[in-house]
Structure 1
Amino acid sequence: MSDALTAPVKLKVITTITQQDTKPEQYELWSEGTIMQKRDQIYLRYEEVQEGQHMQTTLRFGQEDAIIIRNGDIKMRMPFVLGQAQKGHYNSEYGQLPIVTLTKEIKFEPSESLQNGRFYLQYELLIGGQSVGDYALELNYTEGNK
């Protein structure tokens, strides 16, 4: 990413996980990162820390597709296409695990400014052909500090 094409943003990420016969669990993450627009796609980059593990996360999204790529202590690639099953993978210290995402909803609500907007994603996650839950990801971003 070239500095000329990027801008700083503040991020609020809310993940809601619903598993069969359990109450939904919600996780909230605040971070700072950068945003870039290329054609009709938005790229957000930010750092995540989960349970002491650090990851550099890149989220690319548009109106009908998205991908989440994590690098660091955990490596992951999760593609999303509205209404379609997509193959991805999750790498941990125990090896690579193939995963499948079935995207149910994608909403991208940009504002006039590149540095403000909302992205929403709802999907079912399958591991080994079995559903491990329904996930909702809501990401709000606002102008950050330079």
Structure 2
Amino acid sequence: MATARAEQIPVKIELKTKIKHDEQQETYELVAFGRYYQKGKSIYIKYDEIQEEGTVNTIVKITEGEAVILRSGALKMRLSFIKGNEMNGSYDSPYGTLLLTTRTKELQLDQSSEGKIDGHFDLRYQLLMQGSSVGVYEMNIKFKEE
């Protein structure tokens, strides 16, 4: 059996995030070029996002029925997701580390099984900061080999 090599494949990433809080809704869209790779039973999608504060490096790790979003650089955050579960995470702010909690309502990965990397990851969750709801997030990540 050959050893699994985590080959990083260049992908185009289209990220769309909708945030609903009370009666308000915001939508953010981002197109980035990043990397896709597999390690064991997990897939990873890596990309950088340029924000006012500086560059944010994001890694999305997806394993059967669960996911983790890690952000580092100008912003440090860790969010964990398991459908139907409440998971703890953290956000490092200038005022200290804040406790984040996710309540995952939907988590689904669909990928083409034919040759090139092509798929999408859908995530819907309620986000709580220090125990107070800050909204329901719908995140859709489309990725396609370039």
TM-score by length of 1: 0.91
Distance 1:75 1:117, change over 3 A: same
| Compared CA separation, residues 122 and 4, structure 1 to 2 (3 A) | closer
Write the mapping of 1:30-49 to structure 2, written as runs, cut at 5 A. Answer: 30-49=31-50
* RMSD (Å), alpha carbons: 1.7
**Number of aligned residues:** 142
Residue 19 of structure 1: aligned partner: 21
Unaligned runs of 5+ in 2: none
Q: Deviations over 1:69-115 (max 9, x none)?
A: 00101100000011000000001222211100000001100112462
Q: Which runs of 4+ in 1 moved over 2 A?
A: 50-53
Letter in 1 for 2:50: V
SS of aligned partner of 2:92? strand
1:54 counterpart letter in structure 2: T
Give the C-alpha shift of residue 5 in structure 1.
1.4
Give the equivalent residue in structure 1 for 2:63: 62
Q: Deviations over 1:32-65 (max 9, x none)?
A: 1111112331101110123343111000013410
Partner of 2:30: 29
Larger displacement relative to structure 2 (33-42 or 102-111): 33-42
**Residues 108-117 or 134-143, more deviating:** 108-117
1:66-145 paired onto structure 2 within 5 Å: 66-112=67-113, 113=115, 115-144=117-146
| TM-score computed with the length of structure 2 as normaliser | 0.91
Contact in 2 for aligned 1:62/1:108 (Cα 8 Å):
no
